[in-house]
């Protein structure tokens, strides 16, 4: 398939595919928009396109659940496939495999153009009133209205050698101010630290509504120093068109729906959070103080569309976009080591807390326990693996994306004595179950579950046969399937 090169085109493709419901009825930005989107995730249902948000600037629209699961039961990952420019019937592990190739593409730098759709309307300084945008108060218990849940922040090192495109949540602070989350261990935080070191405010651009594949790569744990825009060009096979911001020198995707630009303060802090998170919880209590992002300009397309991810219990974009991208980045690493890897996946239901890898059941190894342990340690050593606290290793007769098979494998093949726990490991501080101290230190125990069977090393006559339909001879399976309707089903 040909890649979709703008968010607007993506919305049109979703509508053509029956993946969108247009909501012209007035909807309140205060919780109602979030509740409708959550309900769409849970069913799953088509993505809601809100066209009439109470008290907000006319013409501005919001697409909820842009990469949620599809109601098409045969192709639940349709929106992910469309985002990546892959066939809609691509199986989930195959999506991971294809996306795992991104770090190995030949980078193609973005192409600077003079103008683009994002420049159709321009506002500066006091003309800007972000409170008039259809920015939702998403969850009961959130600390404020979240302006960014699925847009990308653009930042660049002071020397210009590295441009980072990243999804990072941001809360509305005022008509021209945003509370921006800066995590020191993430790339966005590393670039902010470089600006702080030289004593200059960091230029930023918040791009709401970008090419769907750009949003996907912004959730991909690429090696630090690797620019997403260049790798996206490699994935497309042609440059991404970018255009210069109005009040700083950053370059942003030209087709973006809304660009909000400015400078991140080095010393002014504003409150942010709490917010419902990808683990499925809204943490009670006060939020924290984060840098104030001061807005100097806003440019936007006519009748712009903002994306909305309502983070929480699976499955939403943190699990489809981020989970698949994390799994892909880890598969890229594992494929370059001497492991008999077959498939990799992060089950949606695990809220990105499990990484599952299947290995060749005909592998040439005498020590399955060592194999599982080495795979787990390789995962934890990777950049993508830093987000995942639990690794599950299974044989390749288990589909890592099939939760029923996975539960069966964990229940019947994992012996508690084979579990490997590794203490004092770096861990992403938003992992749901961490204590306050573990979150602050970003250190906790990580675990490897060995669900490999020893059957492959047993004499063939002593190997157990799976007691399921696929345990019957292949000829009989085919006969039953071919004659299924004749039986009366």
Residues noted as catalytic:
277
- The verdict on whether omega for the bond into residue 21 sits within 30 degrees of 0, i.e. cis, is no
Q: Give dist(CA 322, CA 468) in Å, integer.
A: 34
Pick from 338, 401, 435: which is nearest to 91 by CA? 401
Residues near 395 by beta carbon (within 8 Å), at least 6 away in sequence? 358, 359, 361, 409, 413, 451, 452, 453, 456
ω before 44 within 30° of 0 (cis)? Answer: yes
Sign of dihedral through CA atoms 197, 207, 210, 90?
A: positive
- Identify the CA nearest to 309 among candidates 297, 323, 328, 290: 323
The rounded distance, in Å, linking the Cα atoms of 55 and 49 is 17
Tokens of 1: 């398939």
Q: How far is CA 483 from CA 475, 479, 488, in A?
A: 12, 6, 9
Residue 351 to residues 36, 68, 369, 430: CA-CA distances in angstroms? 20, 13, 26, 11
Q: Where are the beta strands (DSSP E) in 144-257?
A: 146-148, 152-156, 163-166, 170-174, 177-180, 202-208, 241-244, 251-253
């Amino acid at each position: 398939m040909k890649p979709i090169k703008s968010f607007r085109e993506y919305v049109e493709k979703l509508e053509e595919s029956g993946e969108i419901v247009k909501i012209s009825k007035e909807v309140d930005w205060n919780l109602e928009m979030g509740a409708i989107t959550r309900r769409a995730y849970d069913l799953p249902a088509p993505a809601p396109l809100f066209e009439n948000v109470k008290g907000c600037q006319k013409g501005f629209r919001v697409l909820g659940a842009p990469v949620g699961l599809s109601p098409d039961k045969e192709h639940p990952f349709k929106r992910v496939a469309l985002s990546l420019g892959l066939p809609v019937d691509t199986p989930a592990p195959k999506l991971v495999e294809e996306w795992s190739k991104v770090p190995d593409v030949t980078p193609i730098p973005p192409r600077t153009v003079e103008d683009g759709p994002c420049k159709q309307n321009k506002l500066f300084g006091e003309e800007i009133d972000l409170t008039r945008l259809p920015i939702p108060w998403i969850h009961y218990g959130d600390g404020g209205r979240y302006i960014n849940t699925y847009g990308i922040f653009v930042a660049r090192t002071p020397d210009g050698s590295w441009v980072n495109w990243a999804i990072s949540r941001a809360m509305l602070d005022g008509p021209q101010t945003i509370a921006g989350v800066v995590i020191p261990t993430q790339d966005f935080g590393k670039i902010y630290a470089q600006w702080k070191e030289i004593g200059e405010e960091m230029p930023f651009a918040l791009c709401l509504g970008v090419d769907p594949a750009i949003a996907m790569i912004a959730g991909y744990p690429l090696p630090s120093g690797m620019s997403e825009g260049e790798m996206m060009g490699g994935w497309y096979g042609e440059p991404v068109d970018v255009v210069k911001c109005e009040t700083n020198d950053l370059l942003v995707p030209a087709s973006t729906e809304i660009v909000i630009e400015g400078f991140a303060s080095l010393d002014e802090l504003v409150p942010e959070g709490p917010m419902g998170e990808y683990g499925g919880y809204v943490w009670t209590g006060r939020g924290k103080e984060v840098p104030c992002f001061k807005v100097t300009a806003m440019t936007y397309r006519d009748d712009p569309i903002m994306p909305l991810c309502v983070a929480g219990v699976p499955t939403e974009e943190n699990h489809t976009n981020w989970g698949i991208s994390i799994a892909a980045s880890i598969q890229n690493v594992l494929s370059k080591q001497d492991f008999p890897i077959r498939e990799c996946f992060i089950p949606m239901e695990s809220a990105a807390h499990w990484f599952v890898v299947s290995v060749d059941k005909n592998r040439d190894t005498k020590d399955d326990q060592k194999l599982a342990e080495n795979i787990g340690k390789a995962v934890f050593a990777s950049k993508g693996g830093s987000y995942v606290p639990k690794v599950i290793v299974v044989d390749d007769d288990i589909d890592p994306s099939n939760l029923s098979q996975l539960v069966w494998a964990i229940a019947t093949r994992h012996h508690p004595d084979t579990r490997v726990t590794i203490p004092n490991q770096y861990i992403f501080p938003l992992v749901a179950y961490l204590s306050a101290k573990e979150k602050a230190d970003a250190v906790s125990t990580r675990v490897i579950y060995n669900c490999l069977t020893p059957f492959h090393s047993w004499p063939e006559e002593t190997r157990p046969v799976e007691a399921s339909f696929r345990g019957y001879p292949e000829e009989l399976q085919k006969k039953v399937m071919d004659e299924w309707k004749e039986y009366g089903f």
